[in-house]
Chains A and B, each alone.
Chain A
């Protein structure tokens, strides 16, 4: 069990550029989540997948954000036309979720991708 991995760990970009982040969940986990965390705050939910299906998207996820999980394994989060307000830590988590397991649905987080938009 190698845990949740994220790539890159750090990204610096100029305003207006597009960026893409990757998340590889724990291999047997069917649920994958994206969160965003700004300095001094707790993480905020962005979106989550069960297998390849995107089940929920937060209102924080504007039209410039898109997430995919094409084969139910890794996921990508793309931000188009980045803005300085997008600067944050983007966290990915996975779990072996399901309604029958709800009480035991422990989420495990990756190391995060820190985005800085200049």
Chain B
């Protein structure tokens, strides 16, 4: 059974800190990995998609890396802001299908 683990489960930091969120997975054959943001009671917003042929993707203050051999992806958030407060989820397609397997997320709070 494929599993996705996100560490830490929760994180509370002051504004301005650089953050690293971790995602570990057991399937080294994944062909992409997506990072999402979810605000309380809301749907998911896609942040970044990394294809298996890529090692990094960047969007603004966000940078995601993918290391298939070690089964890890990291999401780096630079200069965090209170507006970054949300739950961050990683997910990848399972078993040659497009259905996504999700981690349980990292709940981030950035305080002023």
Interface residues of A (CB under 8 A from B): 4, 6, 31, 33, 35, 40-45, 48, 55-56, 58, 89, 91, 93, 95, 97, 102-112, 114
Contacts and interface: CB of A to CB of B under 8 A. Distances in A.
B49 A106 contact: yes
Contacts of B43: 4, 6, 91, 109-112
A109 B49 contact: no
Contact of A102 (B4, B31, B34, B102): B31
27 contacts: A31-B98, A33-B99, A40-B104, A41-B104, A42-B89, A42-B91, A43-B100, A43-B102, A44-B102, A91-B44, A93-B44, A102-B32, A102-B93, A102-B98, A103-B31, A103-B51, A104-B49, A104-B51, A105-B32, A106-B32, A106-B46, A107-B46, A109-B43, A110-B43, A111-B42, A112-B43, A114-B41
B12 interface: no
Counting from the closest, the 10 A-B pairs by CB-CB distance are A42-B102, A103-B51, A45-B99, A109-B44, A111-B43, A106-B49, A112-B43, A109-B43, A103-B31, A42-B104
Given A91-B43, A114-B41, A103 B32 contact: yes
B26 interface: no
Nearest to B89: A42
A104 B32 contact: yes
Interface in B18-77: 31-32, 34, 36, 41-46, 49, 51-53
